[in-house]
Amino acid sequence: MAFRGLTPRQRPALWVAALFFLVHLPLLGLVELSGDESFYWLYARHLDWGYLTNPPLIGWVVAASTSILGDTVTGVRLGVLVVASLGVFALVRLGEALGGRHARCSAVTFFFLVPLSWLYGFMAAPDVLLAALVACALAATVTAWCTGRTAFWAGSGALLGLALLAKYTAVLPAAALVPLVVAGGRRWGWKAPAAWMAAGLATAGPHLVWLASNGAEPLLLRVAVHGHEEVSEAFAGHGLLHFLGTQAGVWSPVAAGVVLWALWRLLRSGTPRAPHVTAMALGTVLPFAAFLVWSPFGPVHPYWTSVALPAACGLVAVFLAGLPPARRRLLWWALGAQAVAVLVAGALILGGRPGEGYLGRRVRWAPGENRRLAARLRPLLDAAGPGALLATSRGYATVAQQAFYLGVPERTVALAPFGLAVQLDEWAAPWRGRNAVLVAPGSLDEFPLPVYFERCHPPERIAPARGRVYTAAVCEGYRGPARWLWEPAHGADPQAVAGSVYRALLGRPPDPEGLRSVAWALERGELAHLVWNIVRSPEYRTRFAGETPVATARRILAALGEPDADPARLARAVELLAFGGPHGLFLRLLDEHGGPAGLTPEVEAAPPAPPPAQEPDGASRSATAVLPAGTVTVTEARRPPGPAPSTV
């Protein structure tokens, strides 16, 4: 059962892995990169021991493959396909180590019939690396248990360390293997578990040091990302039901039933269970149990449970080896028929014209959309000048994909820094003051442009695919990240912030309900969204219909402690108002105060500033605001002292 050389017993595993690789290789470049894959390509251009939102292995693998094939779709995915092929090789060897030739065939056949594995060789994702490395670790551990060779114990630990560098959920299969490692220590001596643990820590050690040096912020950020805005659904039970429904889809009902049947038979059997078979059961149950517990408190993506797939294949292989041949054939026919049905349903949903399947269902399927969008953005990027940034106001997928197709990986920034976009925010910090092309799905109306840029040109609408609309604009003077817009403002005074918001936007003090809304928005990091909703409210439109831009700018400045702003300041506020709207101007001025935490009741109620003493009576000051439609001159005339002139 050892992996030395290429023995006749190992040749089937090699042939299966080679066939898997050769079948998937010509298909790698057929589909454009997804947003996540493009983001991992950005990782490859910023190599490090870790990232704010992911461990580093996916970036290393993509960097290795693109160094050979260049920045192409095939180049991004090739390295992950190589690792996935090694995982298939290990899966065949795992089945043979567990139960011989029949178990070997059962393990790999079950793997290929589970829908969760069908994208295994087509996409560059940490979950693919994780599943492949876990399969290798399981095969090495079972082989070490059977042979007692220390090299396999050390190899298993090193592979689990690499799996941790792919995704933090690798701790689940590692925990499942602990009883087997302990049993191996009793059987072969305690040198075996020592080698297992030492190799794992040595492999993952540099990343753990990096993680500790960053205050565990990346790990905490992952928890915050996946728990954001999902708690309300959790207590209604939606998260749990969604998890169960998606898992029934990606595993398929028949495959899920086979796994549950295998677990039931294992529990009901009266004979003592072998430790390596128990490890397969734990490797299947622990990930599902962990995600099941987490699902009420945050979303669980369907493919996360792929970490349990190698152990489930080993468990099913042992289970099917003990079934009568007639039942075994019946299960294989059921799994095969279900796989064909899923493939036909997928073809009906995704087929037909771009953006619409044969069944008439709207789907996010538009071949060539990213290339067409890149062709429309290229002139805007050239117009923005050399070294211009590529920015997005919504998420990270759009800007990561366009960075790939436009070839500007070093100059990308996401202006709504939550989730993976936080990493883009960090990378773009040195590029302040540069021009940028801002692109986002849908509209830019809600986004507070003045917070991030000094000036933006009128936006353009782009429709690269049927039913898909993007908005792009050339902006000048990137000001840097403003994470306070999207993060909870724990140090802010809700009463001071509410007073400024309501006086600036509605011209009145806040009512009790408004005060509660502002306090809730500060706790959730939703102040920008609240301000946008106020500007769109019927009360705002009724109160300030027909108001001039100068009057709007003066009102907002006064609410933030500048009731007597000079003409230059007022003209600049009118310019910001022209491309950012009232909500953008308010948030820009709030950003200049240091965010919500910089507002105090004293700032809110600042007294009018006295006029400059050196100006003669009756003098006037003026400034010009440059707007897209022309210029506006803002003049402040000072009345001489004495009684006011009579009005006729």
Four-way CATH pick for 485-610+618-635: 1.10.10, 3.40.50, 1.10.3130, 3.30.70: 1.10.3130
Where is mean pLDDT largest: 76-90, 245-259, 333-347, 494-508? 76-90
**Residue 355 pLDDT greater than 80, yes or no:** no
Least reliable range by pLDDT among 83-87, 338-342, 374-378, 441-445: 338-342
Q: Give the integer Cα–Cα distance in Å for 368 and 354.
A: 9
DSSP string, 102-128: HHHHHHHHHHHHSGGGTTTTTS--HHH
**Residue 220 pLDDT greater than 60, yes or no:** no
Encode pLDDT of 231-264 as tens digits: 444 334 567 787 888 888 788 888 888 888 888 8
- pLDDT attached to residue 286: 92
Within 8 A by CB and 6+ apart from 607, the residues are: none
Least reliable range by pLDDT among 17-31, 163-177, 474-488: 474-488
**Residue 606 pLDDT greater than 50, yes or no:** no
Least reliable range by pLDDT among 412-426, 477-491, 541-555: 412-426
Q: Are 583 and 591 in contact (CB under 8 A)?
A: no
Q: Are 279 and 141 in contact (CB under 8 A)?
A: yes
**Residue 384 pLDDT greater than 90, yes or no:** no
Q: Radius of gyration over alpha carbons of the chain, in Å? A: 30
Residue with tokens 């050389």: 5
Encode pLDDT of 526-539 as tens digits: 888 888 899 999 98
Beta strands in 366-484 (DSSP E): 389-392, 412-414, 436-441, 453-456, 460-465, 468-478
- pLDDT attached to residue 224: 46
- In sequence order, what are the beta bridge partners of 356? 362
- pLDDT attached to residue 570: 87
The pLDDT-based confidence of 67 (bands split at 50, 70, 90) is: very high
**Residue 595 pLDDT greater than 50, yes or no:** yes
* Sign of the torsion formed by the C-alpha atoms of 425, 428, 429 and 433: negative
Q: Are 163 and 133 in contact (CB under 8 A)?
A: yes
Higher model confidence: residue 264 or residue 328?
264
* Sign of the torsion formed by the C-alpha atoms of 192, 195, 201 and 204: negative
Within 189-237, where are the H helices?
Answer: 191-213, 217-227, 231-234
- pLDDT attached to residue 5: 45
Within 8 A by CB and 6+ apart from 250, the residues are: 115, 116, 302, 303, 305
Q: Give the integer Cα–Cα distance in Å for 245 and 239.
A: 10
- pLDDT attached to residue 218: 56
- pLDDT attached to residue 614: 44
Higher model confidence: residue 640 or residue 381?
381
The pLDDT-based confidence of 610 (bands split at 50, 70, 90) is: very low
Q: How far is CA 53 from CA 166, 211, 218, in A?
A: 12, 11, 5
- pLDDT attached to residue 60: 94
- pLDDT attached to residue 409: 65
Encode pLDDT of 204-215 as tens digits: 989 888 888 876
Average pLDDT over residues 591-615: 59
Least reliable range by pLDDT among 21-30, 80-89, 97-106: 97-106
- pLDDT attached to residue 601: 61
Q: Give the integer Cα–Cα distance in Å for 589 and 335.
A: 62
**Residue 296 pLDDT greater than 70, yes or no:** yes
The pLDDT-based confidence of 59 (bands split at 50, 70, 90) is: very high
- pLDDT attached to residue 199: 92
- pLDDT attached to residue 529: 86
The pLDDT-based confidence of 57 (bands split at 50, 70, 90) is: very high
Residue 171, token pair as written in the block: 């701790």
**Residue 611 pLDDT greater than 50, yes or no:** no
**Residue 151 pLDDT greater than 80, yes or no:** yes
DSSP string, 8-40: TTTHHHHHHHHHHHHHHGGGTTSSPPPHHHHHH
Average pLDDT over residues 169-177: 91
Q: Give the integer Cα–Cα distance in Å for 456 and 303.
A: 40
Residue with tokens 């500790």: 212
- pLDDT attached to residue 359: 40
Within 8 A by CB and 6+ apart from 442, the residues are: 394, 469, 470, 471
Q: Please, what is the average pLDDT of the chain?
A: 78
**Residue 457 pLDDT greater than 80, yes or no:** yes
**Residue 50 pLDDT greater than 50, yes or no:** yes
- pLDDT attached to residue 619: 45
**Residue 62 pLDDT greater than 90, yes or no:** yes
* Sign of the torsion formed by the C-alpha atoms of 93, 97, 101 and 104: negative
- pLDDT attached to residue 630: 53
**Residue 366 pLDDT greater than 60, yes or no:** no
Average pLDDT over residues 1-23: 69
Q: What is the DSSP letter of 417?
A: -
Encode pLDDT of 32-41 as tens digits: 888 888 888 8
